[in-house]
Structure 1
């Protein structure tokens, strides 16, 4: 849990951060801090969280949930519905299959059947 170490100025606070967040600047202007109204203590576990060099959370795709073909004016684009391991809970996005396959080929060993394949099975 983060604790306020000291009030640096009337508008800035220095926070005591755990060692895992040592790359994060620990002094914040009050406009960047938000009050948290909660009955339970708000604790975000740091295990399993990955942060890149720019201190952005790294969210990885977990699985491909569905496939479709998006019909544009002059072309058809295969897309896949992807489930991500988001820190906010389950999150899904639609991505272009060709671009996604290049970046995450391991997810295409077992893929979900397309919507049309599901209909044909019935």
Structure 2
């Protein structure tokens, strides 16, 4: 029998098989992954309006008045974005190009010029 020292794998080949076979571990792992993803996006959106990937593509999320998102707003935006289908609204609302998460949270995504993007990046120092 394999053992991790403090927890036995109970005949499972590896930890992944144990997690798949144990509902409590499976759902705990899924909840932890969602929590980490939500906190990742919320942190960056409240700090600068840009994640690392958004910085590379020169995108910025902000309130419609130009201010940065609050923590509750960023968490709600990331949770509604998890649905995925909200992004299809961009194809329907061609004029404003806002997804469901933007409408719910009163936010917008801007495409920045290179100079504006550099200014956002430099303001973090």
- Structure holding more strand per residue: 1
- Structure holding more helix per residue: 2
Question: What TM-score, normalized to structure 1?
Answer: 0.25
Question: What TM-score, normalized to structure 2?
Answer: 0.25
Structure of greater relative contact order (alpha carbons < 8 Å, 6+ residues apart): 2
Larger radius of gyration: 1
